[in-house]
Structure 1
């Protein structure tokens, strides 16, 4: 009898015998049970998605859901933190309400903050996946490609962008930082004060798309979001329109915390 691993490695368990027959029977029983559980969970997920869609539960873009689910499937979600406007979907989902100003959520890019403190384990996981970050995004949408003028940005045919952000180099961080050694690969760009976000408290919530599909988003604490947005609005080189948007988002989240998530103020 031969045991085959998920990676297609094979190991002999010896010739046919009472012992190997029992091993095979146990394996078959566990496999049948696992397949039935997967089928039941898949059916339950599909029912929930239909309910979400019928009740208009979700507002997040489907592309955002698909990217987060792809990272989770490949064991990479723990290395990235969503920052910026898309974090608002997690906050409103946790509070069970929707932000009234839809324009405040309108954006065509997602910022993924890479935890450079886990760089070695990230590289090991990417090696086990056997792919580059760009190729993973292309499995979500085949039109993703790296922008010629921004090597830290992947953009698809509809103009949706994925930016890979990192803290400013410290403690031996490599610079520049290429995510993998694959030929066509993204870099991570240093961002001012990103280290504060990396070291701050985390926040996690299930978000729902307009199609009813769901994904877990790991982002920064709403309190940290407010502080960071107010800091950004004070920067003299910040674009005026972006500064106004920073203040608007900070005010919205601050009100949300006070009314629906007061425990986060502790």
Structure 2
């Protein structure tokens, strides 16, 4: 894992947020899945310039305040790299001098009248943005995995179950409002993780009742995902050398 991402995850773990208030979503989950399966994923699929911090909106702000720096989420990031700043006031996104982005995301509220952002106790802090479909990842089983950073040092990360990840990625890739370039990457990652499960993690069944937090139609998509994975050669789990 790149050093900047590893340092951010260590900071959240040291603040007792990892696996309780926060999990990791998006591309960085692949580092946990490759470790879980004992394989090495081609670097082109794990290369990314941002990291998604998935906040469970059910977490008490009072509980967060006990573990967070006085400056909030941004304070947590600047403790890692002082160049982190908000992209704009009230943004869910921070960036450092190297252009590395950190997104603070959370599931969409069930109340359509409620504003689309979760309140934060810090006026100049990151404000989590609500995104449709993330409730499936928040409510799915989680795995904690020890991975290695670019220097070879370990860190712990909590991520959604790989089955939930694969199904969610397929759902995202088929949304009409998704950027076409991101759609292709989403689908590649879904096929990759489905293949990884079939070949290296066969004990993880898509029929497991633990996945009942996902919509029935999405769980039924697992059968076609497996078929598509066999028909379409997914990106290699190993580098081509």
| Residue equivalent to 2:10 | 69
1:203 deviates by 1.6
| Residue equivalent to 2:154 | 214
Q: CA RMSD in A?
A: 1.9
Contact kept, 8 Å, 1:126 with 1:132, in 2: the verdict is: no
CA distance in 2, matches of 1:191, 1:69: 25
Following TM superposition, where does structure 1 have runs of at least 4 consecutive aligned residues deviating by more than 4 angstroms?
Answer: 171-175
CA distance in 2, matches of 1:150, 1:258: 42
CA distance in 2, matches of 1:119, 1:237: 32
Cα deviations by residue, 1:132-191 (Å, 9 ceiling, x for unpaired)? 11011001001000002770001001111110001112369775323332x420000011
- Report how many residues are paired: 204
**Deviation larger for 71-80 or 187-196:** 71-80
1:137 and 2:88 equivalent?
Answer: no
| Residue equivalent to 1:115 | 56
Structure (1 or 2) with the larger CA radius of gyration: 1
What TM-score do the two structures reach when normalised by structure 1?
0.72
Task: Indicate which of 77, 88, 101 corresponds to 2:30.
Answer: 88
**Which runs of no fewer than 5 residues in structure 1 stay unpaired?**
1-59
Equivalent positions of 1:48-197 (< 5 A) are 60-77=1-18, 78-100=20-42, 102-126=43-67, 129-148=69-88, 151-170=91-110, 175-181=116-122, 183-197=123-137
The 1:145–1:124 alpha-carbon spacing in structure 2 relative to 1, beyond 3 Å, is closer
Greater percentage in helix: 1
What TM-score do the two structures reach when normalised by structure 2?
0.79
**Which runs of no fewer than 5 residues in structure 2 stay unpaired?**
209-241
| Residue equivalent to 1:245 | 185
Contact kept, 8 Å, 1:178 with 1:186, in 2: the verdict is: no
Contact kept, 8 Å, 2:84 with 2:96, in 1: the verdict is: yes
